[in-house]
């Protein structure tokens, strides 16, 4: 699956920022390599590193992993709906409310990582079935016109954003 055209997503900071993070033209390849990178990154972290927060109100790397998984589920659902021709605008979500409700810090790292792995593998399997025609279909998420492949690309870009945060703020993955 190729990256979306600029006409397939709103040119605002939310959509554009995440999509521009993805340099790989093949989004499925990007998702696959990220899965392996995240596995290797997290397996080398101590418990103290997994639970460290660089500032009040910020998530720990442990919680970031849960957030990445929730976000992929939501963006993936949106991409599926649009690929299947959904005409209704799909609802927004508040990532902070979701993270608070999920209580990621109370879940084991092993459970969070297994969820991440399974969701990513399921996403790759699903998105690999999208033809160019299906992937470029436009629907609405949070009242914004967006293609299925733009949402798939946003999954990869969103994860790259958080990997940069882990590197810059937590000094992980240097």
87 is written with which tokens? 């005409």
Domain extent for 16? 6-169
Query: Which tens digit of pLDDT belongs to each residue from 58-75?
Result: 999 999 999 999 999 999
107 is written with which tokens? 């879940």
pTM of the model: 0.95
Is 174 inside a domain boundary? no
CATH number at residue 55: 1.20.120.450
Is 70 inside a domain boundary? yes
Query: Which tens digit of pLDDT belongs to each residue from 87-119?
Result: 999 999 999 999 999 999 999 999 999 999 999
Is 1 inside a domain boundary? no
Count how many domains the chain has.
1
Kindly report the backbone phi and psi dihedral angles of residue 108, in degrees, each rounded to the nearest multiple of 5, phi listed first: -70, 150
37 is written with which tokens? 């990178």
Identify the CA nearest to 30 among candidates 128, 136, 114.
Answer: 128
């Amino acid at each position: 699956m190729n990256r979306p055209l600029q006409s397939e997503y709103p040119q605002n900071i939310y959509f554009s920022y995440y999509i521009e993070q993805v340099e790989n033209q093949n989004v499925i390849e990007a998702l696959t390599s990220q899965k392996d990178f995240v596995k290797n990154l997290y397996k080398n972290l101590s418990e103290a590193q997994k639970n460290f927060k660089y500032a009040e109100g910020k998530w720990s790397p442990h919680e970031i992993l849960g957030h990445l998984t929730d976000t992929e589920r939501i963006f993936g659902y949106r991409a599926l709906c649009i690929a299947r021709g959904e005409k209704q605008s799909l609802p927004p979500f508040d990532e902070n409310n979701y993270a608070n409700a999920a209580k990621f810090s109370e879940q084991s790292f092993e459970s969070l990582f297994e969820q991440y792995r399974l969701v990513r593998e399921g996403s790759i399997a699903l998105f690999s079935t999208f033809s160019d025609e299906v992937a470029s279909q436009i629907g609405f998420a949070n009242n914004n016109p967006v293609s299925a492949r733009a949402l798939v690309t946003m999954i990869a870009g969103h994860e790259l954003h958080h990997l940069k945060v882990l590197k810059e703020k937590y000094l992980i993955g240097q």
